Structure 1
Amino acid sequence: MDVLALHDGWTLRPVAGDVPAEVSTAGAVAATVPGSVHTDLLGAGLIPDPYVADHEERLRWLHRTSWEYRTRLDLTASPGERIDLQFDGLDTVATVSLGGRVLGRTANMHRSHRFEVTDLAPGGDLVVRFDSALEHAEAVEKDIGARPRAYDHPYNAVRKMACSFGWDWGPDLQTAGVWRPITLQRWRTARLTQVRTRTELAGTTGRVLVDVEVERSGLEEPTPLTVRLEARGATSTVEVDAATTRATVVLELPDAPVWWPRGYGDQPLVDVEVDLLDAGTVLDGRQLRTGFRTVRLDVTPDEFGTGTTLVVNDAPVFVRGVNWIPRDHLLTRMDADRYAAALDDAVDAHCNLVRVWGGGIWESDDFHRLCDERGLLVWHDVPLACAAYAEEEPLRGELEAEVRENVTRLAHHPAIVVWSGGNENLQGHEDWGWKEELGSSTWGGGYYRDLFPALLAELDPGRPYQPGSPSSPDGVHPNDPDHGTNHEWDVWNRLDWTAYRDRVPRFCAEWGFQAPPTFATIDEFLPADQRSSTSPVFLAHQKALDGNGKLDRGMAPHTGVPDGFDDWVWAAQLNQARAVACGVEHHRTWWPRTAGSVYWQLDDCWPVTSWAVVDGSGRRKPAFHALRRSFAPRMLCVAPREGVPQLALVNDTGEEWRTRVRVRRTDVAGTVLAATDVDVTVAARAVHLEPLPLVRSREEPVVVDADGLRALHVEAADTELPWTREPWTTTTTAVDGGFAVRVEAHALARDVTLTADGALPDASVDGGLVTLLPGEHHTFLVRTAAPDGEGLAAQLRAANQFGTGG
């Protein structure tokens, strides 16, 4: 098969809608394929950056505009040659034509489309017209009936990324364009239309199973074909007779290398090649990498309810996870390097799982390849979120087609361990007033309970499936914390973050707490005259309902609500970090009753106040350091049980942990008042709890140390304590790649953090939230290209500034 990328020579122009004069008079502009209307207009200087200031609002005219992509395609066909156009992704409502003939119409960005063009030589203009996805969704909704949803636009009436239409952390931009590659494919005799590769592991023997589907050109008499499978130097073949279009080929590999999640072993991957042959001549082929492992969910009922424990290669795994949204709202700006950097954030935070959330996309091949290589487990939702979904046409057929295509595309990835029917749709049906609004209308239940399980039993039978997130066994409320998976949003919406400790979920798949982005990211989108938490532009980048009100109410009991903007930002960031630590520590110290903690969320798709620990510019917020410390394979904390503080050591390694714990009670200045040592042994993959010694009063801190880990316990809020305001001296020294900022404490310094990007926008720091006793020191390593480190030390912040001391 001869494959030619058709990515050059495209132009873009508006063809309908209320288009601003500066755009309509510009005529056709150069278009990037893959790309989007937004990125092309931005590149041409015709629109402002939608991520800056209030520009999102100024671009709402794009929601109801139609666009035309155009290029010239010359075609010549040799005798016996078939020619197809392959579109891997069109976003979303598109009409494709060549030389004036309509090839087809599409309305699903989550699947590919293919058109035969053999008889269209000599070719002509290849045109892709995109009509408004919003207007299409409104028309579908009018035709088949409206269904409840969490947001204003009818995103549940079109197969487009739901968060394209805005979310409580994302912009409402409603992209359009050729968002995945276009290729011209020339072939003879036959081709592989489907290659679905799965693996099995029994003891030390691995099996590669490949189901293929063959399309014949129709330009010659069918002949017998051969499918050949090769891996690790071994080969297996199967014949496909002239009347057959499907076949399965199996290859057994003794002593197959076992793939493990990170923290449990190595991630060996095996190259697999599948070829279609005609009398020894290769007609078509696929190359991929896979791995051998077993996976199941242990959902055995017990005295607490119904657990949900992920078991990989017969090893129960505590899931240390993060939720993943599209890393850039303008999807086509994501490449392999950006995916790698984003997933390395998860690795550096000691995560072992990433949940691909249901309001986004079926993630890219790069994303899944990188997870395979890093040992990052993947929980993947079907892209359905926070809405009721009609089970009638045209949605049902589109949804089934996209599930078939994407499960087939992704089935070979060992990192994928759970398929889920979608996000919060089961809970929404029970709790959000949908039943009254729906009446007898369909809402998606048939997808989650019938269609998806049947498709996965056919396509990917070896992988666990959950009807949704959250979900529970039949007959139990889908968000019951004692059964199945749980989403915990009461804390953020109406409770103090210490309330995470009030429930013991079996598997918490979503929970989180907000904070603004980093200082440099704020500077990128916020004009100087808008530098206030209540300014219109700042609030335009706060999408959560009463988000700032919840931030203020969350801060008040701990740090107070500062008046100055920079102090307010730092207090919110610190409060988020403490909420993150509280939730993770609570979940982990209840292992094995609690078997997973998946924080909402790892990343942002633009600059916004949100629950993310890495902001929209890729900068790590203080909460990232809290997540990293709390998710560390060995973790030390204080975990209250029935009001009694417990010394807690969590050992999520394969080796026993023997350590001596040093416990010191101090005054608020850090003077040691009493000390004792505790010898502790923690078994592999286990938790040790015992009462914390030396606790006397709410105002006296207790500092706990073991093997370089430190925890601080003090019951009084910062606003109740006379902390020393700036308990340190600093020295800044140039080092390779940046600067070292040495901090030496002369009094107890709590949660010391260097927000270096506030001085140098390109700066990153190796850690944060450090607590020091008098006489101790810590050095922050700052990576930056700046030649001068002046101003870095002034970016030191700590909880001390919220106390009553001077």
Structure 2
Amino acid sequence: MTRSNLHDGWRLRAVGGPVPADLVDRDVPAQVPGSNHLDLMAAGLIPDPCADGNEAALSWMHRVDWRYSTTFRAEAPRAGERVELVFEGIDTVATVELNGGVLGHTANMHRGYRFDVGGSLRDGDNDLTVTLRSALAHAEQAEAELGWRKRAYPHPYNAIRKMACSFGWDWGPDLQTAGLWKPVRLERWDTARLSQVRPLVTVDPDGAGRVDVHLALDRAADRDYTVLVTVGDRTGALAITGDTAHVTVLVPDARLWWPVGHGDQPLYDLTVALLADGRQVDAVRRRVGFRTVTVDTEPDEHGTPFAFVVNGERVFAKGANWIPDDHFLTRVTRERLARRVDQAVGANMNMLRVWGGGIYETDDFYDLCDERGVMVWQDFPFACAFYAEEEPLRGEVEAEARENIVRLVDHPSLVLWNGNNENLPAYTDWEGWKDSLEGRSWGNGYYHDLLPKIVEELDPTRPYAPGSPYSPGDLPPNDAHHGTRHDWDVWNSLDYTHYRDHVPRFSAEFGFQGPPTWTTLTRWIHDEPLTPTSPAFLRHQKAVNGNANLDRGLTPHLPVPTDFEQWHRATQLNQARAVAFGIEHYRSWWPRTAGALVWQLNDCWPAISWAAIDSDERPKPLYYALKHAFAPRLLTVQPRDGSPTLVAVNDHDEHWTGAVHVTRQDFAGEVLATAVLPLDVPPRSTASSDLPDDLLEPADPRREVLVATAGGIRTHHLFREDLDLDYHPEPFTADVTPVTGGYRVDVRAGSYVRDLTLLADKVAADAVVDDMLVSLTAGETHHFLVLTSEKLREPTSLLHPRVLGCANTFTSGGSSTTRRTNSPDR
């Protein structure tokens, strides 16, 4: 078996549609894997779509047809030899030709294609062309044939099996990429190849790891074969007489794979070797991890839970929703994915939900999650739309589901298959959607019949959910008491304090917007002046009423600044506070609430969005809020029976015991009341403590704060919103000292300081600070570590009030009044 990549010598040409004059009859070098936008950018023929208003200027590309072509040298097939041309991924509607003959057609970005070229491959040069039709034109034609169906955005993304957010979303651009986005290769064999390897990994009651390898052969020669399966140091062998086989390998006393924070992530090498007459003719190598996973949905006194159970242990899912990490998918390298997954772990997350408007992620993504213990909730690619259940769409849906389930089945990180994103409430709850169908299919058969049957057939080791949100039976899909819930009333219409209106069983989506970091924003948007309503800024604010919601969300808590840079900082702060508020509420109700997945971890372009990490990979203040709110141990003040109550959350295997020291003090640091409360929280549980009345009855609620501390864990509780607090306008002093790898910024509070942030990227583009949103009582100190490769000419720039600031300055009438000092350079 030989495999030869065909990635060299490709050219790209526009061959149909509204082609600009400077592109007519012109071809350019093309990268494969790659996409048309990237090739045209590399040739200097189009501007970067991410900058300013270029996205709109490139809308002509939506209706252009493109042709990729190359010439490669090969030998004609020998007698008895099989040769296939393999495309792992084509984006999207293509006609594939070899040496002038049509091999076939494609219409699905989410699957691969194989073409038998035994009759068309020749000795010497071979001409390969892939002509890509406009995906928009194809979708419009398919919609005309299958019938119009509602969707959340204008283009008919629901009529084509292509990444839905390629057509634009409320955080992403409308670019409609085209290209060969995964590897292309030639495969040759004269014996047999392993056409499918499907390892089902389970754990027996006695602790033995079981790997049931189901495999299929594609034979070129009718002869006897043997398959050899090795898992770690254990081996199983089987002689194969047909085209399918099943080999079981047991690993006694298997070490279990655990989510991060619950244990280790041991992985075992799996090798499946195909032998002919003792000679290896093909092999597949994977890694597997032994663990069990179920979802507890047994009704209880509160309704219907939705709790992940791994190796028999209930796990609170702390995580975020994941979108493609770059709109141009081939720019997402393994190294970039590793940085992103590491950031998720660094924010104390243990789950990422691969959202249904994107893609089935690359093997690299799941490999990294396996290694780091990040559970993956995998949506099938259906989102915010109705989908036809008739052919040819149905056949494509089945083909992609089968292919990707088999591809991903060996990953221990994958813990759930989910039918769709928000299509169930679209049918039952969204005004006018159901009536618009007029009897047409809408996807229900996929979510409740086709997909669960395929999962049961190919991957019975994992749970399946029909959709998110989902409630069982005839209940509304978004019922807070049953199953999974999405909370978008907060952000769309309600203040973030309304997260407390519901105690969901599992919050699979909730979030609040904020702009990207200052350096990312000003790298890509160059309006003069730059304002929330300047033209290019608005091109990157895709949410309906996005800016209005940002200001509305600020109004109950902070002033709405007229200075743009201050507005930028205030909206980032409010985003961080809003999401942390929701997380602490949800975690305080464990085990009734069993998960909180924030919308969203990442961005695919420089957007004003819900992301915690922007498209240039910089963490926003929200990221640090997630790190705090998802910490293994948490103290939070929550309302219980009408009174503020201290809740301790212990997401740890060890008992949390000791004492909580609680004080009520004024902003100047005078202690006005104090109490010591016993702390006794069993592993993976919560405990509540009533607070004495004298702690909850401030003499001056505008100038006092409640502080609870247990060891290194603390929480602050204020008695009024910032707008009504009498903060000191000069609450801290600071100095900066060079250290190895960057700088240390030392802050000392002279009065109460709330949500201290250091926006280091404003000083050095690569600068990252170790923490943000730090609150200090009078007399306390904090040390920030800023890592950067730059040697700053003026280290005191890290102390500038637009770099180092806190919430106090938004309401105290000054943003540049804090006294700052500088330590001498070392």
Note the C-alpha offset of 1:290.
Answer: 0.4
Alignment of 1:607-626 (within 5 A): 607-626=606-625
Structure 1 match to 2:310:
312
Please say if 1:157 is aligned against 2:163: no
Alignment of 1:327-366 (within 5 A): 327-366=325-364
Alignment of 1:38-187 (within 5 A): 38-76=37-75, 77-120=77-120, 121-122=122-123, 124-187=126-189
Kindly tell me the number of residue pairs found equivalent between the two proteins: 800
Note the C-alpha offset of 1:214.
Answer: 0.9
| Equivalent-residue separation in structure 2 for 1:140 and 1:489 (angstroms) | 32
| Equivalent-residue separation in structure 2 for 1:224 and 1:146 (angstroms) | 53
- Paired residue type of 1:705: T
Structure 1 match to 2:696:
695
Note the C-alpha offset of 1:24.
Answer: 3.2
Structure 1 match to 2:207:
204
Note the C-alpha offset of 1:164.
Answer: 0.2
Please say if 1:552 is aligned against 2:565: no
| Equivalent-residue separation in structure 1 for 2:616 and 2:492 (angstroms) | 26
| Equivalent-residue separation in structure 1 for 2:424 and 2:719 (angstroms) | 39
| Equivalent-residue separation in structure 2 for 1:47 and 1:662 (angstroms) | 61
Cα contact 1:151–1:167 (8 A) shared by 2 = yes
Cα gap change, 1:642 to 1:51, in 2 (>3 Å): farther
Please say if 1:707 is aligned against 2:708: no
Q: Equivalent residue of 1:681, what SS?
A: strand
| Equivalent-residue separation in structure 2 for 1:744 and 1:19 (angstroms) | 62
Structure 2 match to 1:512:
511
Cα contact 1:668–1:721 (8 A) shared by 2 = no
Cα contact 1:720–1:804 (8 A) shared by 2 = no
Note the C-alpha offset of 1:726.
Answer: 3.0
Cα contact 2:11–2:27 (8 A) shared by 1 = yes
Please say if 1:737 is aligned against 2:745: no
| Equivalent-residue separation in structure 2 for 1:475 and 1:717 (angstroms) | 41
Note the C-alpha offset of 1:791.
Answer: 1.1
Please say if 1:213 is aligned against 2:216: yes
Task: Return the match for 1:189 from 185, 191, 197.
Answer: 191
Q: Equivalent residue of 1:307, what SS?
A: coil
- Paired residue type of 2:10: W
Q: Mean Cα displacement is larger for which, 483-492 or 653-662?
A: 653-662
- Paired residue type of 2:745: V
| Equivalent-residue separation in structure 2 for 1:691 and 1:793 (angstroms) | 40
Structure 1 match to 2:276:
278
Q: Equivalent residue of 1:792, what SS?
A: helix
- Paired residue type of 1:147: R
Q: Equivalent residue of 1:598, what SS?
A: strand
Please say if 1:14 is aligned against 2:14: yes
- Paired residue type of 1:342: R
Alignment of 1:23-42 (within 5 A): 23-24=23-24, 27-42=26-41
Structure 1 match to 2:823:
none
Q: Equivalent residue of 2:187, what SS?
A: strand
Structure 1 match to 2:797:
791
Cα shift readout 1:468-517 (whole Å, capped 9, x = no counterpart):
01111111111101001000111111111011011000011000011111
Cα contact 2:602–2:614 (8 A) shared by 1 = yes
Structure 2 match to 1:672:
671
Cα shift readout 1:419-470 (whole Å, capped 9, x = no counterpart):
0001001111111222111021000000011001110110001100000011
Cα gap change, 1:396 to 1:659, in 2 (>3 Å): same
Cα contact 1:294–1:312 (8 A) shared by 2 = yes
Cα contact 2:527–2:536 (8 A) shared by 1 = no
Note the C-alpha offset of 1:78.
Answer: 2.8
Cα gap change, 1:692 to 1:805, in 2 (>3 Å): farther
Structure 2 match to 1:421:
419
Q: Equivalent residue of 1:39, what SS?
A: helix
Structure 2 unaligned spans of 5+: 815-826
Structure 1 match to 2:751:
747
Q: Equivalent residue of 2:556, what SS?
A: coil
Note the C-alpha offset of 1:80.
Answer: 2.6
| Equivalent-residue separation in structure 2 for 1:454 and 1:568 (angstroms) | 51
- Paired residue type of 1:177: G
Structure 1 match to 2:819:
none
| Equivalent-residue separation in structure 2 for 1:234 and 1:732 (angstroms) | 57
Note the C-alpha offset of 1:224.
Answer: 2.2
Alignment of 1:298-447 (within 5 A): 298-432=296-430, 433-447=432-446
- Paired residue type of 1:585: E
| Equivalent-residue separation in structure 2 for 1:538 and 1:750 (angstroms) | 29
| Equivalent-residue separation in structure 1 for 2:55 and 2:260 (angstroms) | 39
Cα contact 1:745–1:776 (8 A) shared by 2 = yes
Note the C-alpha offset of 1:528.
Answer: 4.7
| Equivalent-residue separation in structure 1 for 2:658 and 2:95 (angstroms) | 67
TM-score by length of 1: 0.98
| Equivalent-residue separation in structure 2 for 1:209 and 1:509 (angstroms) | 32
Structure 1 match to 2:655:
656
Q: Equivalent residue of 1:391, what SS?
A: coil
Note the C-alpha offset of 1:588.
Answer: 0.5
Q: Equivalent residue of 1:482, what SS?
A: coil
Cα contact 1:207–1:252 (8 A) shared by 2 = yes
| Equivalent-residue separation in structure 2 for 1:101 and 1:316 (angstroms) | 57
| Equivalent-residue separation in structure 2 for 1:691 and 1:803 (angstroms) | 31
Q: Mean Cα displacement is larger for which, 183-192 or 418-427?
A: 183-192
Q: Mean Cα displacement is larger for which, 78-87 or 404-413?
A: 78-87
- Paired residue type of 2:235: T
- Paired residue type of 2:750: H
- Paired residue type of 1:522: L
| Equivalent-residue separation in structure 1 for 2:507 and 2:602 (angstroms) | 18
| Equivalent-residue separation in structure 2 for 1:617 and 1:726 (angstroms) | 33
Note the C-alpha offset of 1:187.
Answer: 0.7
| Equivalent-residue separation in structure 1 for 2:509 and 2:58 (angstroms) | 32
Note the C-alpha offset of 1:805.
Answer: 5.8
Q: Equivalent residue of 1:538, what SS?
A: helix
| Equivalent-residue separation in structure 2 for 1:40 and 1:290 (angstroms) | 37
Structure 1 match to 2:761:
757
Note the C-alpha offset of 1:613.
Answer: 0.8
| Equivalent-residue separation in structure 1 for 2:663 and 2:252 (angstroms) | 55
Q: Equivalent residue of 1:14, what SS?
A: strand
Structure 2 match to 1:235:
235
Structure 1 match to 2:586:
587
| Equivalent-residue separation in structure 1 for 2:668 and 2:497 (angstroms) | 25
Cα contact 1:530–1:536 (8 A) shared by 2 = no
Cα shift readout 1:629-660 (whole Å, capped 9, x = no counterpart):
01011111111224311111100001000132
Cα contact 1:165–1:173 (8 A) shared by 2 = yes
TM-score by length of 2: 0.96
- Paired residue type of 2:412: P
Cα shift readout 1:158-188 (whole Å, capped 9, x = no counterpart):
0000000000000000000000000111111
Q: Equivalent residue of 2:797, what SS?
A: coil
Alignment of 1:477-516 (within 5 A): 477-516=476-515
- Paired residue type of 1:15: V
Q: Equivalent residue of 1:212, what SS?
A: strand
Cα contact 2:661–2:708 (8 A) shared by 1 = yes
| Equivalent-residue separation in structure 2 for 1:198 and 1:638 (angstroms) | 45
| Equivalent-residue separation in structure 2 for 1:302 and 1:290 (angstroms) | 34
- Paired residue type of 1:792: L
Cα shift readout 1:49-103 (whole Å, capped 9, x = no counterpart):
1111011111101100111111102231333322111100000011110110011
Structure 1 match to 2:262:
264
- Paired residue type of 1:717: E
Structure 1 unaligned spans of 5+: none
Share of identical aligned residues, percent? 52
- Paired residue type of 2:173: P
- Paired residue type of 1:756: A
Cα contact 2:669–2:779 (8 A) shared by 1 = no
Cα shift readout 1:316-366 (whole Å, capped 9, x = no counterpart):
111111100001011000010000001111100100111000000001100
